[in-house]
């Protein structure tokens, strides 16, 4: 009975501890407000903002650069999908998607068809880029993906003169998988890497506090529930669960090995 009680208490502790972790880490969901964007930017500053799970479309021409931006928080592994619908008649074309972080550093794709060549006359071409997991903190010299705004650039490379300016339709979508405590690190950024510009200068005597309050943020999109990027992660839950299980195992082992606790009988005349 003692062993059954110990195992029952361990299972209860595991369920109570794991429950809040699952509730605090919801998966990204598509935006429920507003319609899907139908335009693409032509530079980093004019990139069209999209949310995770939101499908965006745009019309353009071969030779153009198309830009979109999206938010990615710590512990997420974003995947960028892009589809380009080509005109009926065209030569072989090579299309490419590049992803940049908030510091405009190009981020490598873990896997996926980042560059793909469409054969002559092909109706469309599909591209994909799975980024590395976003870290809450990184060394200044590292190129690790960090929380903030990310940019998608879609373009055709190596075009012939005959194919320049042909009309195309593009569709992009960003999904993210929540990796959780497996990607947690001991540290966090003070603020996510979201581009912004100071609306006023301190040369006119304005103090630093007032200047920071009047700054204008260029990117308004953020993950559902806001930016986390804090010290908390579900690995703390599993660490606590491991400690509880270890303590219960110690109590159970002691209960099995300590014996009845009564002194053994001494034979008469010994």
Instruction: Indicate the average pLDDT of the chain.
Output: 76
DSSP the chain: -HHHHHHHHHHHHHHHHHHHHHHHSPPP----SSPPP---BSSSTTPEE--TT-EEEEEEETT--EEEEEEE-TTEEEEEEEEEEPPSS---EEEEEEEE-TT-PEEPEEES-SEEEEPTT-SEEEEEEEEPPPPS---TT-----SEEEEEEEEEES--GGGTT-EEEEEEEEEEEE-GGGG--S---SS-B--EE-SS-GGGS--HHHHHHT-EES-----TT----SS--HHHHHHHHHHHHHHHHHHHHHHHHS---PPPPPPTT-
> What is d(CA 67, CA 45) in angstroms, rounded to the nearest whole number?
9
Has this prediction a pTM greater than 0.75?
no
Quick: pLDDT tens for 2-17. 444 444 544 444 444 4
What is each CA distance from 99 to 104, 128, 246, in whole angstroms? Answer: 9, 11, 44
**Beta-carbon contacts of residue 81 (< 8 Å; ≥ 6 apart):** 126, 127, 128, 172, 173, 174, 175
Topology (CATH level 3) of domain 30-193: Jelly Rolls (2.60.120)
**Beta-carbon contacts of residue 116 (< 8 Å; ≥ 6 apart):** 94, 95, 125, 126, 127
**Beta-carbon contacts of residue 98 (< 8 Å; ≥ 6 apart):** 106, 114, 152, 153
Mean pLDDT of 239-267: 72
- Give residue 232's pLDDT: 55
pLDDT beyond 80 at 219: no
Quick: pLDDT tens for 134-190. 988 878 788 889 999 999 999 999 888 888 999 999 999 999 998 866 556 666 777
Quick: pLDDT tens for 59-97. 999 999 999 999 999 889 999 999 999 998 889 999 999
Where are the domains positioned within the chain? 30-193
Whose CA is closest to 58, among 44, 42, 40?
40
């Amino acid at each position: 009975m003692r062993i059954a009680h110990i195992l029952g208490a361990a299972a209860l502790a595991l369920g109570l501890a794991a429950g809040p972790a699952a509730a605090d880490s919801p998966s990204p969901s598509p935006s429920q407000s507003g319609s899907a964007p139908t335009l693409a930017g032509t530079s980093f500053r004019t990139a069209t903002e999209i949310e995770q799970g939101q499908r965006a479309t745009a019309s353009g021409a071969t030779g153009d650069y198309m830009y979109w931006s999206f938010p990615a928080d710590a512990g997420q592994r974003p995947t960028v999908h892009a589809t380009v619908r080509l005109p009926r008649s065209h030569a072989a074309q090579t299309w490419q998607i590049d992803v940049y972080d908030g510091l405009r550093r190009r981020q490598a794709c873990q896997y996926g068809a980042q560059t793909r060549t469409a054969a002559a006359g092909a109706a469309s071409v599909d591209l994909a880029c799975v980024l590395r997991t976003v870290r809450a903190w990184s060394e200044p010299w590292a190129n690790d993906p960090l929380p903030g705004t990310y940019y998608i650039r879609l373009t055709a490379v190596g075009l012939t003169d005959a194919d320049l300016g042909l009309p195309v339709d593009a569709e992009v979508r960003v999904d993210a998988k929540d990796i959780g405590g497996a990607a947690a690190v001991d540290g966090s950024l003070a603020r996510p890497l979201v581009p912004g510009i100071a609306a006023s200068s301190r040369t006119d005597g304005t103090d630093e506090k007032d200047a920071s309050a009047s700054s204008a943020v260029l990117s308004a999109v953020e993950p559902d529930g806001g930016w986390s990027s804090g010290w908390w992660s579900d690995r703390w839950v599993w660490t606590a669960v491991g400690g509880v299980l270890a303590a219960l195992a110690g109590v159970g082992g002691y209960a099995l090995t300590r014996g009845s606790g009564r002194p053994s009988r001494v034979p008469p005349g010994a």
